[in-house]
Structure 1
Amino acid sequence: MKLHTLSLANFRGFEQLDMSFEPDMTLIAGVNGVGKSGILQVLAALFARALPEFTPCTAKPPVFVDEDIHYDKPSLEASISFSVDQQRCYGGIQRIREDADFGDVWRRFWMSDQEAKAQPRSFAEIIADRTLTGDLEAGRAETEEMLRGLKKRKQQPVVIYFTPQRQLPGRPRKLPPLKAFEIANAYNTALVSRQVDLREFIHWFRVVETEASEAHRIKGAGVLDNLREVVTTFIPEFKDLRIEESPELRFVVQKNSTDLAINQLSDGERGLLAMLFDITRRLSIANPDLHDPVAEGAGVILIDEIELHLHPKWQRQVLRRLCKTFKNCQFIVTSHSPQVIGQIRPKCLRLLDWNDDSNRIVLHPVSQSFGMDSNWVLQNIMGSPARDYETERMIGTIYDRIDEEKLDRAAELIADLENEVGLFPELQEAKSLLARLEMLRADETD
């Protein structure tokens, strides 16, 4: 399954936004308040509508409210296009302000990927064409038959939404009786804001460990080995994941040869484990016949604030490792971390910014990002000075004094700033310029 496009009209701060997505990783960046989180919320809501039609998902979709409608508009519209098993879906929701009876109206149209590629159209264009021709119900019987076939498959795609509240809780509650999981369990609470449920994960871990048949036991061991490999890939010092029930129920990991319970780990470690555990568990439940559901399972993974609680070193590695580990998944993530942005190629970056001319939030084109250091990203992509305001102001003052030929005062300011923060490239440049000017002045005096 792959998400192709999102279109928003009059949703919160967006008057109109059309966004495409890369098949592996798309990073949505921008300052606070430009709507990054809102985009993921819309995607989660739209997939919550679509998934029950072609998967065993039974989740109740969230509804939009009047507060989601742009402040001076009568309604909002949100639509996506995505592919699953050579079929293309165009689905959209409309909500009209102050019309509780009308509610959210969901419409969707399916066609083959081949047809969609031959005649690319938006959801709005399809609605308009079929309204004009009176074919809104065209192909309904064939579509329903196709959807029933998709729903019966043993290999199902998942969509998982991680909000900033995703962190693993410290201690699990008592486990329920062991019971094999149905594919539908892969979708439970996957598209709502939540902490990742450690109890659910331990329950799944224990079920996989204790499957009844020998064939299942062998496969279960493989799944758990895959999980342990995933964790070690992201956090090399972590080994030997296991459940302990005495003196109390807890999930334990060995870190640098020391056993630690989950609640003893840092916020960053628990936040990262929350995602790894949850993605692995859901892919495994949704794809019981796959040899390696981690690498082969398909899904769309939505992650808000990917950098949350992560050390800058981990921020630089996390996107690459997610794609390398969950090879058949598509990631749509948000961030305002320069460390994260510097690890993404421009074609995968969607930079949201406020446009003063049009007075709206727009997508800002980016030609360079990958491999750039954090200072460059701050200055050239995020529009923020690489240094703190006071240091930037002092550098400006030094150059002002040099321009005014007040070289003695410039030298004093350089010395003061060097004593306070040390020597850095911009200050070294000012210092070198001052030295050259002082030499020229001395020559003129001679």
Structure 2
Amino acid sequence: MTNISITDFRRIREANIDLNPKLTVLVGNNGTGKTTILEAASYCFGWFNSEVGKNNSTAKSLLESDVNINSAKFADVSIKLKIGDTSISSNLARPTEKYPATIKSNLEEIRMLARAYRTASTVSEINYPLFAYYSVDRSDIKGIQKSGLNELNNFPSTLYDGYKKALDGKCDFNEFSTWFLEINNLSNADEINSASKIKNEISVLMSSWNKLKDMKMEAAAKVMKENIEQKKSELSSLLKKSQPIYKKQLECTKEAFLSLIPGLTRVGIDRSSGTAEIIFEIFGEKINASKCSKGQQTVIALVGDLARRLTLLNSSLENPLHGQGIVLIDEIELHLHPQWQQFILVNLGKTFPNIQFIVTTHSPQILTTVKPECIRGLKSNNDNKIEVISNFQFSEGAEAQYVLEEILGVSSRPKIIQAVQNLYRYLELIKEDKWDSDEAKELRIYLDSWSGGYEPALIAADMDIRLRDFRRKKIKNEKNK
């Protein structure tokens, strides 16, 4: 996606944002419209997903409630996509009740794109792009599904399941669990459903062959034997073809988890209780997802959902996680410790290298891992028109304090705290050469007690005072000569 333009959609009166082809990070104060921008894009993507899956019920049109209450005309959401050298536009529109002109959405190009993929897939095996949206509610892992050892004989997932609920904003970990357990079983030859069907057919044929032999019907038995050998050949071919595919999918998914969860050394299946469930071995401890921390659950749910969808959509790739697509993530730092925040985007980019990520954040720790050309600062004026700032000069590798102040526009110290106010006043008095005033002395006593000698600003202030005192005495001595 190269651009998104919004007019009178919800609180946003006007916004026009050019996007980086690999990663765009939206920053701005609460209420600026970051989430609204992601949801606007997801509305447009929904028409591709629904057209591919032949399910228009999943596509969303703009509602009357989506139109800005101050609009006299209409709401409009427009996106521009680039696929190779081809540019595609799509827009959703909704007029106000009193607007006299006819306003229609223009979705033909994005729907034609979806139909082109669907048609091409009937001729040869192709890979589909992923369009997905993850909201702040994405990490709700509860009631983890456990499956009986004999309950996973069928494999219902199809390519189109890669789009199912992809834009609902949530990671369905139960869907992932079922899929992961299935491909784990399918990676073992005896568990492949198609193979089981052929085995049953062979068993029936063998029974018939034995009966024909007993009845001395040699000619019929010979034909039956040929059918049995043909079925055995089909079974052998199927196992050779299918088993490596599922093993590849399983290993790629495990590698995704290993690259994004600190301390994780193994992902496996525990069947000891008579049910099958996914177990994560983290720092030597075996735990299931429901027992992981909220931060771990957030990453597990996100990575699991992405891996499942990309694998379903790109089964012919050597590494399905290298499939293409656009992924929208609201508050990428959700529930993550600052240390995790410093690697989440970098490792997502490495694990899913052909995905364009568009994310929002309030975290300077996230921004210290992002190139400045990928950051879009959003400022809303009094009319809720969005000013987009994209000329940041420095961010990647910067100290968090610098990013907090220069990009997020927030003081590194909370000015609401009285001690901070006193510190700033004390430093101001020093600049005015009033460090030895009664006010300054009183403030210094307070600040020394507050900081316990650990405040670097006071240590630097002492050096400044010594230099200023030296200059003051020098000037005084020169006057007395």
Normalized against structure 2, the TM-score is what? 0.78
Match of 1:251 among 262, 271, 278: 278
* 2:142–2:290 contact (8 Å) kept in structure 1: yes
* 1:89–1:108 contact (8 Å) kept in structure 2: no
Give the letter aligned to residue 330 of structure 1: Q
* 1:242–1:253 contact (8 Å) kept in structure 2: yes
Match of 2:386 among 351, 356, 361: 361
Shift of 1:312: 0.7
Q: Distance in 2 between matches of 1:79 and 1:430?
A: 54
* 2:314–2:320 contact (8 Å) kept in structure 1: yes
Which residue of structure 2 lines up, in the alignment, with residue 427 of structure 1? 458
Residue 57 to residue 382, structure 1, CA distance change in 2 (3 Å): farther
Give the letter aligned to residue 216 of structure 1: S
Shift of 1:376: 0.9
Give the letter aligned to residue 168 of structure 2: V
Residue 406 to residue 428, structure 1, CA distance change in 2 (3 Å): closer
Does 2:247 align with 1:272? no
Which residue of structure 2 lines up, in the alignment, with residue 416 of structure 1? 446
* 1:241–1:251 contact (8 Å) kept in structure 2: yes
Residue 367 to residue 71, structure 1, CA distance change in 2 (3 Å): farther
* 2:133–2:166 contact (8 Å) kept in structure 1: yes
Residue 377 to residue 298, structure 1, CA distance change in 2 (3 Å): same
Which residue of structure 2 lines up, in the alignment, with residue 16 of structure 1? 14
More strand by share: 1
* 2:433–2:468 contact (8 Å) kept in structure 1: no
Residue 108 to residue 241, structure 1, CA distance change in 2 (3 Å): same
* 2:49–2:163 contact (8 Å) kept in structure 1: no
Match of 1:67 among 65, 68, 76: 65
Does 2:381 align with 1:405? no
Match of 1:301 among 321, 327, 352: 327
Match of 1:41 among 34, 39, 42: 39
Which ranges of 4 or more aligned residues in structure 1 deviate by more than 6 Å? Answer: 142-145
- Is there any run of 5+ residues in structure 1 with no aligned partner, and where? 112-139
Q: Distance in 2 between matches of 1:243 and 1:76?
A: 49
Secondary structure of 2:353's partner?
Answer: coil
Which residue of structure 2 lines up, in the alignment, with residue 162 of structure 1? 134
Secondary structure of 1:423's partner?
Answer: coil
Secondary structure of 1:171's partner?
Answer: coil
Which residue of structure 2 lines up, in the alignment, with residue 106 of structure 1? 105
Shift of 1:78: 0.7
Instruction: Report the number of matched residues.
Output: 410
Residue 148 to residue 169, structure 1, CA distance change in 2 (3 Å): closer
Match of 1:339 among 330, 343, 365: 365
Secondary structure of 1:18's partner?
Answer: strand
Q: Percent identity?
A: 25
Which residue of structure 1 lines up, in the alignment, with residue 344 of structure 2? 318
* 1:159–1:300 contact (8 Å) kept in structure 2: yes
Segment of structure 1 superposing worse, 384-393 or 310-319: 384-393
Q: Counterparts of 1:20-419 in structure 2 under 5 Å?
A: 20-53=18-51, 55-56=52-53, 58=55, 60-73=58-71, 74-84=73-83, 87-98=86-97, 105-108=104-107, 110=109, 146=116, 149-150=119-120, 152=122, 154-173=126-145, 175=147, 177=152, 178-194=154-170, 196-211=171-186, 212=192, 213-247=239-273, 250-294=277-321, 296-355=322-381, 360-365=385-390, 366-389=392-415, 390=417, 391-402=419-430, 403=432, 405=434, 407-409=436-438, 410-419=440-449
Q: Distance in 2 between matches of 1:307 and 1:145?
A: 36
Query: Deviation string for 1:321-345 (max 9, x for gaps)?
Result: 1111101111011101111112211
More helix by share: 2
Shift of 1:240: 2.1
Normalized against structure 1, the TM-score is what? 0.84
Residue 57 to residue 239, structure 1, CA distance change in 2 (3 Å): farther
Segment of structure 1 superposing worse, 411-420 or 330-339: 411-420
* 1:22–1:348 contact (8 Å) kept in structure 2: yes
Secondary structure of 1:106's partner?
Answer: coil
* 2:144–2:289 contact (8 Å) kept in structure 1: no
Query: Deviation string for 1:46-69 (max 9, x for gaps)?
Result: 00013334x336361123223322
Secondary structure of 2:370's partner?
Answer: coil
Q: Distance in 1 between matches of 2:405 and 2:114?
A: 52
* 1:11–1:69 contact (8 Å) kept in structure 2: yes
Secondary structure of 1:6's partner?
Answer: strand
Q: Distance in 2 between matches of 1:148 and 1:229?
A: 30
Secondary structure of 1:161's partner?
Answer: strand
Query: Deviation string for 1:234-286 (max 9, x for gaps)?
Result: 22411221233443553211111111111111111100111110100000011
Give the letter aligned to residue 72 of structure 1: N
Shift of 1:418: 3.5
Query: Deviation string for 1:274-319 (max 9, x for gaps)?
Result: 111010000001112122101x211111100000011111111111
Residue 145 to residue 41, structure 1, CA distance change in 2 (3 Å): closer
* 1:171–1:250 contact (8 Å) kept in structure 2: no
